[in-house]
Amino acid sequence: MGSSLGLIGFFIIIAGVFERTTGETYMVGDDLGWTIPPHGASTYSTWAAEKEFSIGDTIVFNWTGTHNVGEVSKEDYDKCTTVHLVDEIQQISPATFTLDSNGSRFFICTVDSHCERGQKVTINIGEYSFASSMTVSSMSAIFSILTLLFISSYYL
């Protein structure tokens, strides 16, 4: 029985080692930065779709030239207006936002028609598919439980 307890302990340690690291920093658009995307709004939606944003992560808008970044409501985002600004428009690059809760946040550039031309991005925090939200940690925890059940059925 001692060795099976050791085995369970081993899986618990593995679970801890592989726990998802938090506090990642994402540069919006990567090398493109924050600009009028040459291929339209899909540029930033594609960029965002490939990311798994979590609470504690940071997003950075980096630009040269005349741009800014404002966080707005979904309605404003869709219409490229600034009726419901969440906070002051950030005029200085780099502009950093900390993702502190789950949900969707909407960012646009308010200069001229930049937003209409695709300089907008939606950040979905904590909305992963079931498969990708199954971290190694939770899989290890389940494996530990299964191991425990297996061992107890063997000894009973």
Ligand X SMILES: *[C@@H]1O[C@H](CO)[C@@H](O)[C@H](O)[C@H]1NC(C)=O
Cβ closer to Cu ion: 52 or 79?
A: 79
136-155 vs 2-17: helix axis angle to the nearest 10? 170
Of 35-74, binders to ligand X (CB under 6 A) are: 55
Q: Which of 46, 96, 102, 104 binds ligand X (CB under 6 A)?
A: 102
Write out the two tokens for 72.
């707005």
**Residue 95 φ/ψ, nearest 5 degrees:** -110, 125
The answer to whether 6 touches 142, Cβ cutoff 8 Å, is: no
Cβ closer to ligand X: 58 or 93?
A: 58
Q: Contact between 33 and ligand X (CB under 6 A)?
A: no
Report in angstroms how near the CB of residue 131 gets to ligand X at its nearest: 12
The H or E element that residue 131 is part of is: helix 130-133
Q: Contact between 26 and ligand X (CB under 6 A)?
A: no
Which residue ranges make up the site for ligand X (CB under 6 A)? 55, 102, 126, 128, 133
